[in-house]
A and B are shown apart, each in its own frame.
Chain A
């Protein structure tokens, strides 16, 4: 199993009545709520936390892209990546993961090939690049991409970027959305032919197939933990088998909110209010912007709508209404929390059930202050990670198709 300290860089100071007073944390969240002086402090604390994770020997540190969003303050994750690359270059263990750039939003998308190659060179060949389709809030509502064209744009941007990385000589690209007479991105990446590509996704069959076909690692980035992730990872592995791919657990990853402390009881005392901040405020999203018409295909809609009607009570609804207590959050797997032993057992169980080798840990959650985040990062790295490595259920699997070689050599 391999662990990535993953950061959303949320705004920690939303008012107590935020979810009652304001329509959403995204798209139309009022800018007056953001204090740049506080933002300055937060950015540097968050960067310190990720740099600390490098010192602690995490397998990766990760950032991602959101727009007009108070829980994800990285409209340009590559800027953060470039700062972090200065630290990662000194590490022999830690990869830099940008998960990722919403490639359909970059015009021309060759920009992604350029910037990710810069990050790969800066980090010393320890970079992993992510290509999300992107949420409807980010892509359709904030960046104006036509939902009817979004997937098509995404596929075309992908083909252009990969060809840009792989092709030696300049070439012409006559696409439907991008026409470039001269494609010749400098610099070239340090890894050959290019950095590993990861695909973060939700529950769409098209995305599973795309990742499997290209041998990219698929990551399910939900905030609802391992029990919920089964709904997606089950069908993902079914597709992998149907398409004749192996069951290498590093072909997949999932995100998990994680809170570790000295004891189970202490974990609740330390972290509960910050977890509640996250679910109540950071996930307060206006249903008007959940999904532009055409964001999901009819096939994916058909499955989703049916389960929506048939589910007696949706967990997210319970959360919104504040009806889940701490044990409820743990029982449903939204959060893995407790003593090092508890967290170790839950994580191994989760990884086994999902068959995911890449664990994207949200060690910073909601309003969690800097000192608690470093505590969470440190106890995990020192008291959980070594124990899991000794009992690694995926020991026999080789991650090298999905990870930079430079960070694998030491451990293998």
Chain B
């Protein structure tokens, strides 16, 4: 896998965002989920057709300034600041889980800044009568069972892998915890910050992709997004849980490609 370029953007309010960037073509921004950002096969494949910008959420990885972001609204503004720093007026946004929620918020708050929106099993909705599991009260092994289709897969084991050496192990664990902390800032205690009341503002053509076996955000939650976003298409992919973009990578990239070129797919 070719290595992406690491760039640092110093934004107003003492916030520094580090991005991974690669590829040529139309700009596309990827917002990662609560597990943090790694350059994975999904991003690598996208980078064959697009100029991919993947920022680390402030407070995760090398990005700094979480303490200067008060709430979700502040975070949305931070990402507009990042678009300004990139010199991009309007961008294609792909967001996974927490990132999907942020992408929807960005598209709703200022529709002029988002060209096309892809939300991969986005967070942002919660039903008391059929609650999604509490991401922040799961043992690491359980979390992997919830987000993967096959908990015995190589992908699943890679999520739990730890270095042997104590110092390295401690740093890897701290990195995972601080990433989760940054995510929790925008999802605690229930991942519903009112997005349903703003979804109708989204003007961008929207593609929703869900893993049919998603145990973290149940597929039934897709209905809210499908019904609430004016131009939304929903595709359910089989043999995929919450890491749908890694478990059905080729299909996801193909769907995104068709969607971007304007031939929006119909749900199978």
Q: Which residue of B lies closest to A177 (CB)?
A: B70
A104 to chain B, nearest CB (A): 14
Q: Please count how many residues in chain B sit with their CB below 8 Å of the partner chain's CB atoms.
A: 24
Segment touching B, from A290-298, A350-358, A375-383: A290-298
What would 28 A/B residue contacts be, using CB atoms closer than 8 Å? A140-B189, A141-B137, A144-B188, A144-B189, A146-B184, A148-B184, A148-B185, A152-B67, A287-B139, A288-B139, A289-B137, A292-B136, A292-B184, A292-B188, A293-B178, A293-B180, A293-B184, A294-B177, A298-B177, A298-B178, A301-B173, A302-B174, A305-B170, A305-B174, A306-B166, A306-B170, A309-B170, A310-B166
CB < 8 Å A-B pair total: 62
Against A, the Cβ 8 Å flags (1 = close, 0 = not) of B23-67 are 000000000000000000000000000000000000100000011
Q: How far is the CA of A147 from the CA of B189 in the complex (A)?
A: 9
Which residue of chain B lies nearest to A290 when distances are taken between CB atoms in the complex?
B137
Query: Interface 1/0s, chain A 44-68, versus B by CB < 8 A?
Result: 0000000000000000000000000
- Which residues of A pack against B, CB within 8 Å? 140-141, 144, 146-149, 152, 176, 287-289, 292-294, 298, 301-302, 305-306, 309-310
Q: Judging by beta carbons under 8 Å apart, are B182 and A148 in contact?
A: yes
- Dominant secondary structure of chain A at its interface with chain B: helix
Nearest-neighbor residue (CB-CB) of A27 within chain B: B137
Q: Which residues of A contact B183 (CB under 8 A)?
A: 293
Counting chain B CB atoms within 10 Å of each CB, the highest count among A144, A148, A152, A287 belongs to A148
- CB neighbours of B115 from chain A (8 A): none
Residue pair B70, A176 in contact (C-beta under 8 Å): yes
Q: Is the interface of B mostly helix, strand, loop or mixed?
A: helix
Tell me which residues from 149 to 182 in chain B have a Cβ below 8 Å from any Cβ of chain A: 166-167, 169-170, 173-174, 177-178, 180-182
CB of B173, distance to nearest CB on chain A (Å): 6
In contact, A148 and B66 (Cβ under 8 angstroms): yes
Which residues from B are CB-within-8-Å of A298?
Answer: 174, 177-178
Q: Which residues of B contact A305 (CB under 8 A)?
A: 170, 173-174
The CA of A146 and the CA of B181, in the complex, are separated in Å by 9
Tell me how far the C-beta of B239 lies from the nearest C-beta in chain A, rounded to whole angstroms.
28
B128-142 CB contact bits vs A (8 Å, 1 = yes)? 000000001111000
Q: Are A294 and B184 in contact (CB under 8 A)?
A: yes
- Residue contact A149 to B185, C-beta cutoff 8 Å: yes
In the bound complex, what is the Cα–Cα distance between A305 and B171 (angstroms)? 9
* Shortest distance from the beta carbon of B185 to any chain A beta carbon, whole Å: 4
Instruction: Check B166 against A294 for contact (C-beta < 8 Å).
Output: no
4 additional A-B residue pairs with CB within 8 Å, beyond A144-B188, A298-B177: A140-B188, A141-B189, A294-B177, A301-B177
Query: 9 closest pairs, A vs B, by CB?
Result: A294-B181, A293-B180, A148-B185, A144-B189, A293-B181, A288-B137, A146-B188, A305-B170, A293-B177
Measured CB to CB, the closest approach of chain B to A18, in angstroms, equals: 20
Partner of B136, one of A287, A293, A302, A309: A293
Chain A residues closer than 8 Å to B136, beta-carbon distance: 292-293
